[in-house]
Amino acid sequence: MAVVGVLALQGSYNEHMAALRRIGAKGVEVRKAEQLGAIDSLIIPGGESTTMAKLANYHNLFPALREFVGAGKPVWGTCAGLIFLANKAVGQKSGGQELVGGLDCTVHRNFFGSQLQSFETELSVPMLAEKEGGSNICRGVFIRAPAILEVGPDVEVLADCPVPAGRPSITISAEGAEDEVYSKDRVIVAVRQGNILATAFHPELTSDSRWHRLFLDMDKDSQAKAFSALSLSTSSRDVEGGSKNKPLDLPIFE
């Protein structure tokens, strides 16, 4: 069974662990860099992103987290975890915060406002329904939530939602270009890019397990590709050496 790590520095890691248990997955809490070597995938939960970054710095986790993402292992960031994984974040506190990066997007740290502006809404998620079954709608729980302002060409948008009425204007700053005011009537709240899944909302706070199942499927796909590559490599060496040995009998993940 694949082992799913949940970064347990602060935030809703207990809720993610419970969600994994409900679907029969093995989850472990991760607090130290050396623990990353014993897991197959990683969830970075929601919480207070600045506090999480300070704790990650204290435990010297950022280099190991970047290496984990760069190795192609599945990583899912929810809310603050989305901010961690973004290549660029705006709307941060004075001095900013360190990011893991890897996700080609610009995220606004507090797009939807303060804790008092937290809300729930229904999101259209046809891809999730196609992959995991069920309704084309899922419940999105947004708690002082970020949002994705821009994405790169390799990023697949999985969900968006309307920009709340009366939302203060947001300015996007770009190096070497004039500042641009975000004027769209909808904003991106869920994406996937390769081995990275990111949601601005909290699926772990609902009874809908499909997002966790989708992430587990990403883990299975990653392991299947790794086993396939190993099998091909072994077969090539056998052919080159004139060996008549059969390839390794490797498990198949469906």
Write out the binding residues: 47-49, 109, 143-144
β-pair partners for 76: 43, 197
Known binding residues for L-glutamine are 47-49, 109, 143-144
* Residue of 15, 79, 108, 161 marked catalytic: 79
Distance CA 182, CA 149 (A): 8
Q: Please say if 204 is a catalytic residue.
A: yes
* Residue of 15, 161, 204, 212 marked catalytic: 204
CA dihedral 55, 60, 61, 67 (to 10 degrees): 160
Q: Please say if 79 is a catalytic residue.
A: yes
Distance CA 176, CA 173 (A): 9
Distance CA 80, CA 146 (A): 8
Residue 239 CB-half CA count within 13 A: 6
Q: Please say if 108 is a catalytic residue.
A: no
Distance CA 224, CA 202 (A): 28
Q: Which of 212, 201, 231, 200 is nearest to 89 (CA)?
A: 200
Residues marked as catalytic: 79, 202, 204
